[in-house]
């Protein structure tokens, strides 16, 4: 059974940094897609960033482009989200999502296309 274990959320002042981790187990993601979505209170879940394992580069939402960096450690089946220059509007529960086999590019932006989800980790950015 596939499990995604997230860590690294917390509280930070605006302008600060956090790094989220998502470790996948129980499945083969060597050719899959892993990424991050977030949901703020009263808002819908939104795409943040994704990386398609062993193919192509990362993709980012416009709101985080230039501030967030997604990366992977294939040996550890882990994806990271380095978040810099955090803003109060980045406050949300961040969810790791994964799907195998790899999603086509047009499908990566919708959470409905991902089969596996983590439990979520809270990120709070104070102004």
Q: What is the pLDDT of residues 58-101, one digit of tens each?
A: 999 999 999 999 998 888 889 999 999 999 999 999 999 999 88
For residues 11-38, give the mean pLDDT. 90
Higher pLDDT, 27 or 116: 116
Tell whether the model's pLDDT for residue 54 goes beyond 70.
no
pLDDT of residue 103: 87
Q: What is the 3-state secondary structure (H, E, C) of the chain?
A: CCEEEEECCEEEECCCCEEEEEEEECCCCCCCEEEEEEECCCCCCEEEEEEECCCCCCEECCCCCCCEEEEEEHHHCEEEEEECCCCHHHCEEEEEEEECCCCCHHHCCCHHHCCEECCCEEEEEEC
Tell whether the model's pLDDT for residue 56 goes beyond 80.
no
């Amino acid at each position: 059974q596939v499990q995604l274990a997230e860590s690294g959320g917390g509280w930070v002042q605006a302008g600060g940094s956090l790094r989220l981790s998502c470790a996948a187990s129980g499945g083969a993601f060597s050719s899959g897609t892993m990424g991050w979505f977030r949901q703020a209170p009263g808002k819908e879940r939104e795409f943040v960033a994704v990386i398609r394992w062993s193919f192509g580069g990362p993709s980012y939402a416009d709101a985080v482009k230039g501030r967030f960096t997604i990366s992977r450690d294939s040996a550890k089946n882990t994806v990271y989200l380095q978040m810099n220059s955090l803003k109060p509007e980045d406050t949300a529960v961040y969810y790791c999502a994964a799907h195998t086999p790899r999603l086509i590019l047009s499908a990566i932006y919708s959470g409905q296309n991902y089969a596996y989800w983590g439990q979520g980790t809270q990120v709070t950015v104070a102004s």
